[in-house]
Amino acid sequence: MIITVTLNAALDVTYRVPSLVPRATNRVLETVERPGGKGVNVARVLASLGHRTTVTGFAGGAAGRELRRGLAAVPHADLLTDALVPVAGRTRRTVAVAAEDTGDTTMFNEPGPAVSPAEWAAFQDVYRELLAGPDTAAVALCGSLPPGVPVGAYADLVREARSAGVPVLLDTSGEPLRRGLAARPDLIKPNAEELAGLTGFSEPARAALDARRRGARAVAVSLGAEGMLALPEDGGWRARPPAALRGNPTGAGDSAVAGLLSGLAEGLDWPQRLARAVALSAATVLAPAAGEFDRAAYAELLPKVAVTPFG
Amino acid sequence: MIITVTLNAALDVTYRVPSLVPRATNRVLETVERPGGKGVNVARVLASLGHRTTVTGFAGGAAGRELRRGLAAVPHADLLTDALVPVAGRTRRTVAVAAEDTGDTTMFNEPGPAVSPAEWAAFQDVYRELLAGPDTAAVALCGSLPPGVPVGAYADLVREARSAGVPVLLDTSGEPLRRGLAARPDLIKPNAEELAGLTGFSEPARAALDARRRGARAVAVSLGAEGMLALPEDGGWRARPPAALRGNPTGAGDSAVAGLLSGLAEGLDWPQRLARAVALSAATVLAPAAGEFDRAAYAELLPKVAVTPFG
């Protein structure tokens, strides 16, 4: 069983509009809602890959109820366990306004719910119990922190996982990433921009080395259409998709996390993990619905990802 | 007791953003939700004026639940009765993105819920029961029709009210207004643009006369900052606010409906009804929160509205 943690889960809403006209009234042609937040997205992909996955974090308010209802209705929902902790505050919505005329998307991200100290303590209890489960194979800590959760939260959660002997992946940015690193997560998966923000180095290999120095045992950097670069504890690998892909990159990073995490849980070696992460990521870009992956494209791309030693 | 009908009720959401940047991710600083749709807004103002009011129409889905919860929590909620009819579809949200840098608002209006024939029949039963109530003083039919409700719906509802001997105000536009007129509502309250769309005449007095010819027993035209023009069955009146007002016109039309309707229910004469409608409308423009009215401004403006005979 794999655990994904999404402290700032979201209900992702897409509005299809003929055109986005500022200062006017825009008629929405269609509304689509799906459970969201990085760890929730990772869990959906893990379930699609056949991994039993437990989703935890916080959920509250009307959007929280819709999120939980949606989670129970995703494909392979039988493999997903909802262990979200209720909060009095309201789970945020993200609204993506997709304009038909230009093909552009404009995002509106609501603020997350205010989490009380008692709610944060309740989450930590649930988290500890999940880590102690008999078949817990790995945990992913994903995304931003809602108001009220201490900025050092991920450092605490990394420490707990390490004490429990559960491999832990941290996928966040900014100060929560900086603090989390000090607790020595097994793997971080920043993109090049997040890694540059952390280390001050714009060159990904140099920045990844620096992130390892700061505490990460392994670093996998997503390079968008260029694939991924990984610096495990020893050696290094570069993985490239077979061709540049056009499509919607929403969720591609979360699919990469699911690839790395499932590979880790299955005991795959690094080149296999990276090939899976890059193929899943590319198959997500190619899927018509944002955040889903195209299963046929994944099967076709997987053997075509070129993984070469690096450094 | 006054009835307001909102077949396409809404949960009105306001997003405060520093700036609206198309094609970017916009961080929402604050989210405010309130029960909405024209008839719901009218009911809130009626309750603030001390009138017992029953809200009916349709509510469904997460937004419908939030709307009903919000309705129970408005000021003077003790005067409001929730007689909304449940639907399987989802009540729409309207999202108003208010940009702090320019002061502009951009609206996104979701489509309404699809209403089934059985749900429409269930509503008609509730409506008939409410009309037959021992102290029903007036009914307002407000706003657009959700998908599935017949375009001639308002004509049927006007006829039912007239058979029950309950004065009926119709506040809608387009084809539902055109059809509704044939059933001879006691009063319609279009703005100049809606009236021009109905009659083809851009001059409000001429257009109002034409609307009376088409079936309205009385016509009150809102002229924005210029006040109102009313053509009752005999004579005519012009009402002007004391000065041009700056502010947010959202909900000003609904406040005018509440003014006319409460005046009718209290047996006020036309000049008094119009003075109230114009003062409430102006006090709504002046209120800091969209759709609320400023009670002190209302009290101050009421005696200053100039009502003069017309035509």
Q: Which residues contact A57 (CB under 8 A, 6 or more apart)?
A: A5, A6, A7, A8, A9, A37, A39, A40, A84, A85, A123
Decide if A15 contacts A44 (C-beta within 8 A). no
Q: What is the pLDDT of residue B194?
A: 94
Q: What is the pLDDT of residue B287?
A: 86
- Closest partner residue to A106 (CB to CB) among B22, B27, B29 is B22
| A contact test, residue of B26, B28, B33, B104 with most A CBs within 10 A | B28
CA A189 to chain CA centroid, nearest Å: 9
User: Would the CA dihedral through A280, A282, A286, A292 be positive or negative?
Assistant: positive
In angstroms, the Cα distances linking A17 to A100, A150, A184, B283 are 6, 38, 45, 34
CA B223 to chain CA centroid, nearest Å: 15
Q: Give the model confidence (pLDDT) of B16-59 as tens digits.
A: 999 999 999 999 999 999 999 999 999 999 999 999 999 999 99
Indicate which residues of A carry an active-site annotation. 254
Q: Which residues contact A121 (CB under 8 A, 6 or more apart)?
A: none
Judged by average pLDDT, the poorest of B93-102, B217-226, B243-252 is B243-252
The mean per-residue pLDDT over the stretch B128-132 comes to 98
Of the candidates B279, B277, B205, the residue with the CA atom closest to the CA atom of residue B269: B277
In the numeric block, which tokens belong to residue B95? 């999202």
Cross-chain Cβ contact B23/A63 below 8 Å? no
Pairing verdict, β A138-142 and A168-171? parallel
Chain B contacts of A65, Cβ < 8 Å?
62
Decide if A218 contacts A9 (C-beta within 8 A). no
> Would you call B66 helix, strand, or coil by DSSP?
helix
The mean per-residue pLDDT over the stretch B65-69 comes to 96
- Closest partner residue to B15 (CB to CB) among A21, A65, A108 is A108
Chain B contacts of A90, Cβ < 8 Å?
31
**Interface check B111 vs A, CB under 8 A:** yes
**What is the C-alpha to C-alpha distance for residues B278 and B194, in angstroms, rounded to an integer?**
18
- Closest partner residue to A25 (CB to CB) among B63, B104, B109 is B109
Cross-chain Cβ contact B28/A106 below 8 Å? no
Our answer to whether residue B104 is catalytic in this structure is no
Q: Which domains does chain B have, with CATH numbers?
A: 2-6+37-90+115-309 (3.40.1190.20)
Decide if A129 contacts A151 (C-beta within 8 A). no
Pairing verdict, β A10-17 and B187-188? unpaired
Q: What are phi and psi of B109, to 5 degrees?
A: -105, 115
pLDDT band at residue B150 under the 50/70/90 scheme = very high
- Closest partner residue to B106 (CB to CB) among A26, A62, A111 is A26
CA B54 to chain CA centroid, nearest Å: 14
Which one from B234, B254, B269, B294 is the annotated catalytic residue?
A: B254
Per-residue pLDDT tens listing for chain A (311 residues):
999 999 999 999 999 999 999 999 999 999 999 999 999 999 999 999 999 999 999 999 999 999 999 999 998 999 999 999 999 999 999 999 999 999 889 999 999 999 999 999 999 999 999 999 999 999 999 999 999 999 999 999 999 999 999 999 999 999 999 999 999 999 999 999 999 999 999 999 999 999 999 999 999 999 998 999 999 988 899 999 998 788 878 889 999 999 999 999 999 999 999 999 999 999 999 887 777 899 999 999 999 999 999 87
Question: CA of B29: which chain A residue's CA is closest?
Answer: A111
**Could you report the predicted ipTM of this complex, rounded to two decimals?**
0.88
Of the candidates B50, B63, B70, the residue with the CA atom closest to the CA atom of residue B1: B50
Q: What is the pLDDT of residue A221?
A: 97
Chain A contacts of B147, Cβ < 8 Å?
none
Name beta bridge partners: B56: B5, B83
Q: Give the model confidence (pLDDT) of B224-282 as tens digits.
A: 889 999 999 888 999 999 987 888 788 899 999 999 999 999 999 999 999 999 999 99
Angle at Cα A124 formed by Cα A119 and Cα A128, nearest 5°?
150
**Interface check B103 vs A, CB under 8 A:** no
Question: CA of A26: which chain B residue's CA is closest?
Answer: B108
Cross-chain Cβ contact A95/B105 below 8 Å? no
Position A48, amino acid: S
> Would you call A170 helix, strand, or coil by DSSP?
strand
Q: What is the pLDDT of residue A243?
A: 85
Strands (E), A61-124: 80-86, 92-99, 105-109
Cross-chain Cβ contact A109/B24 below 8 Å? no
Q: What is the pLDDT of residue A288?
A: 77
- Closest partner residue to A109 (CB to CB) among B22, B25, B108 is B25
Question: CA of B61: which chain A residue's CA is closest?
Answer: A66
CA distance A51 to chain B (A): 31
Question: Does pLDDT of B311 surpass 80?
Answer: no
**What is the C-alpha to C-alpha distance for residues B6 and B58, in angstroms, rounded to an integer?**
7
In the numeric block, which tokens belong to residue A78? 């039988």
Chain A contacts of B65, Cβ < 8 Å?
62
Cross-chain Cβ contact B29/A110 below 8 Å? no
**Interface check A110 vs B, CB under 8 A:** yes
Position A2, amino acid: I
Q: Secondary structure of A239-267 in the HEC alphabet?
A: EECCCCCCCCCCCHHHHHHHHHHHHHHCC
> Would you call B271 helix, strand, or coil by DSSP?
helix
**Interface check A97 vs B, CB under 8 A:** yes
Of the candidates B128, B107, B174, the residue with the CA atom closest to the CA atom of residue B5: B128
Q: What is the pLDDT of residue A66?
A: 95
Q: What is the pLDDT of residue A308?
A: 97
H helical segments located in chain A: 38-48, 61-71, 117-131, 153-163, 174-181, 192-199, 204-213, 252-265, 270-286, 295-301
